[in-house]
Structure 1
């Protein structure tokens, strides 16, 4: 398949890749991030042709691997990369590139002011001001990180597959963990959103969620939150469009 862009979103656990035109995502692949090397990159890109690549990464070693394979064809998203929004933050170089991609996509596709909630290894909240500036956010442990830690740090609590609990009163250890995970995590998400609203101007705020657990966690919340599973990739696509101008 031939496309204008290769989009690369390197997370701690998995790397998502997509071919894209300036207007849309065309095809997707993914692979584990740990152990990523030049051979693995070439294998997953086999059969894909593209003119340019745009990458955001939270794993410097993996970014270096892609840089070595793709060379000058690749743009690596940074705080000073044109992305259609400004950055008003004390140490902009410390902002995760995926968070900037999310903020850019929020501005272009959903509106401002707004908050992006990204459910990954960590859950991040990123805030876009009404005048289209990234102004900061919140970082908290991801849901699976919390439940895995509970299993790893106790003698008897099992590792669980996360899903919606049947009830709040668990009648087994697994049910109790699921109830604590889902209900407790939603409470944390809502509590953070409530605190953020107090520091944002009065009026509507666009709320958009992305990441692996976004769908089922937000579905159980009273507050309406748009779920956009491809938000980060769309942000990279928009960055590619701006680089082409």
Structure 2
């Protein structure tokens, strides 16, 4: 028996199978592919996997990409469920002006972070940072209310914007450093410090608003590069969205069809 969770981002699709639709379940298998290759999932990444009992995912890449993934799931005759942001679920209440317009990946990641804190018996605010094609910095108070968040371009988008808008800046990727002395390092460090500065400011805002320092969770492909630059205590959790999906699956009691294969 296994349960499949899927996170379709702007650049990559990440997936994992767990022993049950529950946040305490055991991770069995996982992987990631670029969106350009998702039409081969059933023949490559998922080849030989035991048929899951159900599928729950979040998708921000658009309906066309989501339908292509659904086509790949036909190998198990399974109909997936896709999470949409809502007013309240998984211990989180949504403070967005229009709750359904909040990105489902941001919503699910906050559910995952909130669940982690509750399971540890910690009653404190949280700051959830995801570093991918875009960077999001989302704040929860100690009661699980989503206060609001930031959206910034990720490293790649920042560099691409500079290359497109400034003559002579198409240079190799540089290194992160405090005092760059070449253009490559200056570009990479400038982007990184800009993102780190946004995280630092939001951390301070949450601490002022809540009267307590937030627990800082970081996730995403480039998070490992950025996290040390903040100078703040942080917890790196690569599976944050998966954990949020599992929490919602266990809470909402989605109806999953047994596989016919």
Asked whether the two chains share a fold, i.e. TM above 0.5, the reply is yes
Confirm or deny that 1:64 pairs with 2:70: no
Aligned to 2:157: 145
Counterpart in the other structure of 2:12: 14
TM score, norm. by length of structure 2: 0.81
Query: Number of residue pairs matched?
Result: 238
- Which 5+ residue runs of structure 1 have no aligned equivalent? none
Q: 1:1-245, aligned counterparts within 5 Å?
A: 3-22=1-20, 23-34=25-36, 36-37=38-39, 40-43=40-43, 44-49=45-50, 50-60=52-62, 61-70=64-73, 73-80=79-86, 82-111=89-118, 112-161=124-173, 163-165=175-177, 167-168=178-179, 170-198=180-208, 200-244=209-253
Q: Which runs of 5+ in 2 are unaligned?
A: 119-123, 255-261
Superposition deviation, residue 14 in structure 1: 0.5
Q: For the residues of structure 1 that align with 2:211 and 2:111, how far apart are their CA atoms?
A: 22
Q: Are 1:182 and 1:217, in contact at CA under 8 Å, matched by a contact in 2?
A: yes
Aligned counterparts of 2:96 and 2:194: Cα–Cα separation in 1 = 30
Q: Take 2:17 and 2:174, find their aligned partners in 1: how far apart are those partners?
A: 30
Residues of 2 paired with 1:162 and 1:234: CA distance?
34
Q: TM-score, normalised by structure 1?
A: 0.86
Query: Contact 1:115 / 1:128 at 8 angstroms: preserved in 2?
Result: yes
Where 1:42 maps in the other structure, the secondary structure is coil
**Inter-partner Cα distance in structure 1 for 2:65 and 2:174:** 28
Q: 1:203 to 1:158 in 2, by over 3 A?
A: same
